[in-house]
Amino acid sequence: MSKQAIIVVDFQNDYLASGSWPLVGVDAAVKNAVRVIDDARAKGIPVIHVRHESPEGSPFFVIGTRGAEIIPTVAPKEGEQVVVKNFPNAFRGTDLKANLDAAGTKDVVIIGAMSHMCIDATARAAADYGFNVTVVADAAATRDAQFDGMTVPADQVHAAFMSALGFAYGKVVKADEYLK
């Protein structure tokens, strides 16, 4: 079996219903993420947490605020790596790739938020770097998007991006399938 790591992207308090940038379906996605994380920990698979930090004036993840903190139910345990990023792609400007390479990681499993931003950017970059990518679709969430005067519902945004990732960048599965 190839060396694997779980990458938990931006599951931070601002994405909860009580936060400043709530996502559709985030509670269900976090519950599935907990299952994936617990399974990884039980099997000794590394869990890497990615936390986005934004400058003051941003609508979410402002440095030093409660909203920028990782959601407690998916928070890192002692010894788990935390990568702090400032861009949608978790590899850009961070040591994520170097750490995965140093560990001999070949397969990455990506969960988190937002499907159409940081999950998409991180999954595409991981594939471009040669990692085998799996995205757990129901352990990810997003929100409605705006385009050309239209509101695109979150479930359609999520489906479109999962479809695109599954077409050319990796495998997209549900938590139950992944945990088999």
The structural domains of the chain, ordered by start, are 4-178 (3.40.50.850)
Q: Within 13 Å, how many C-alpha atoms sit on residue 120's CB side?
A: 15
- What was the pLDDT predicted at 1? 52
Q: Which residues are catalytic?
A: 118
The pLDDT profile of the chain, 180 residues, written as one tens digit per residue, is 569 999 999 999 999 999 999 999 999 999 999 999 999 999 999 999 999 999 889 999 999 999 999 999 999 999 999 999 999 999 999 999 999 999 999 999 999 999 999 999 999 999 999 999 999 999 999 999 999 999 999 999 999 999 999 999 999 999 999 999
Structure tokens of 130?
Answer: 């040669």
Structure tokens of 104?
Answer: 């001999």
- Does the bond joining 114 to the residue before it have cis omega, within 30 degrees of 0? yes
Count of residues for the chain?
180
Q: Which helix (H) or strand (E) holds 156?
A: helix 154-168
Torsion angle, alpha carbons of 10, 15, 16, 19, to 10: 130
- What was the pLDDT predicted at 158? 98
Q: Which amino acid is at 15?
A: Y
What interhelical angle do 154-168 and 120-128 show, nearest 10? 0
CB 115 within 8 A of CB 158: yes
Give phi and psi for 108, each to the nearest 5: -120, 140
Give phi and psi for 116, each to the nearest 5: -90, 0
